[in-house]
Amino acid sequence: MSADQTQSQSQTPTQHRDRYAVVGNPVAHSKSPAIHAQFAQETGEAVDYDRLLAPLDGFVEHVQAFRAAGGRGLNVTVPFKLEAHALAHRLSPRAAAAGAVNTLRFDEDGIFGDNTDGFGLVRDIEVNLGVSLKGARVLLLGAGGAARGVVLPMLECLPREITIVNRTAHKAHALIEQFAGSAQTFGCLINGGGPHAVDPKPYDVIVNATAGSLDAALPECDDRAFGTATLAYDMMYGAQPTVFMRHAESLGARASDGLGMLVEQAAESFFVWRGVRPTGAPVLAALRAQIAAQAAQA
């Protein structure tokens, strides 16, 4: 190693570092700073990443202040994803389809809004869990914001069929109508409605996009939709398997939580900001080990 290289390496810690953060309310629980710190270390990108607690009535002011102070971008979590969508000057196609933004990038010509949630879900299912969505029969439980954000990225994977089911059928029908054109473009059948619309035979993938697991509540779904070859995926995660995961496993299905989705959507946000794509799997493994250790101590 040359003297110049040694000097350059020794100066790296003091070089300019671009500022990013996750903004939400609450935000103290967020794992994003730890995730992005590992991404920065892996890629060698000069990034500092913090938490930003915004008042419920002060999101825009906090974002503008962060930007004015030199911030380069933000992850946006509840309850500000709709406000972030409205704030952005430009939207990615997936953010426009989702009607919500979880990633803001501050460019010279304005604020760019993206939504990486659906990408994170798809990448976790296909890469980390090894289940291909191409040609698959997919059941999506829920028709709220979480569901809306993942339909287009799933359609891009060319599934055979997506069935959207919601307790309130008209919300499912509205989502089906919204994505009917895209489904036709990708050659995918999209259908659904109320819980009665569930086909009483096993699906390849069932995604729980409801918030039921937060209250230990199961979404309405025919048990016959779960088979031994079914991946039952809950967008929620915790120290213990969710009630949806336990129910799916009791019916013989394979179950996964949404921790991998969290990591992979963060990796996509990092790519949107930096043009470099970090590897999610090592970070996911470290997070799972950390959560398991905390659960053992509890």
Write the DSSP string, 36-98. Answer: HHHHHHHHT--EEEEEEE--TT-HHHHHHHHHHTT--EEEE-TT-HHHHHHH-SEE-HHHHHH
Please give the C-alpha separations between residue 70 and each of 47, 66, 158, 194, 259, in angstroms, as whole numbers.
Answer: 12, 7, 40, 48, 31
Provide the CA 247 distance to its chain's centre, in angstroms: 23
- pLDDT tens for the 298 residues of the chain, in order: 444 444 444 444 457 899 999 999 999 999 999 999 999 999 999 999 999 999 999 999 999 999 999 999 999 999 999 999 999 999 999 999 999 999 999 999 999 999 999 999 999 999 999 999 999 999 999 999 899 999 999 999 999 999 999 999 999 999 999 999 999 999 999 999 999 999 999 999 999 999 999 889 999 999 999 999 999 999 999 889 999 999 999 999 999 999 999 999 999 999 999 999 999 999 999 999 998 888 888 7
In this predicted structure, what is the pLDDT of residue 14?
Answer: 54
Structure tokens that stand for 151 in this block: 């339909």
Which sequence positions are flagged as catalytic?
Answer: 81
Q: Is 148 annotated as a binding residue?
A: no
Q: Is 201 annotated as a binding residue?
A: no
In this predicted structure, what is the pLDDT of residue 193?
Answer: 98
R_g over Cα of the chain = 20
In this predicted structure, what is the pLDDT of residue 295?
Answer: 81
Q: Is 265 annotated as a binding residue?
A: yes
What are the residue boundaries of the structural domains of the chain, listed by start? 3-115, 118-258
Q: Is 212 annotated as a binding residue?
A: no
Identify the CATH number of the domain defined by range 118-258.
3.40.50.720
| pTM for this prediction | 0.92
Q: How far apart, in whole angstroms, are the C-alpha atoms of residue 295 and residue 238? A: 10
Q: Is 168 annotated as a binding residue?
A: yes
Residue type present at position 96: A
Q: What is the CATH architecture of 3-115?
A: 3-Layer(aba) Sandwich (3.40)
Q: Is 191 annotated as a binding residue?
A: no
* Locus of tokens 């990092």: 270
Q: Is 117 annotated as a binding residue?
A: yes
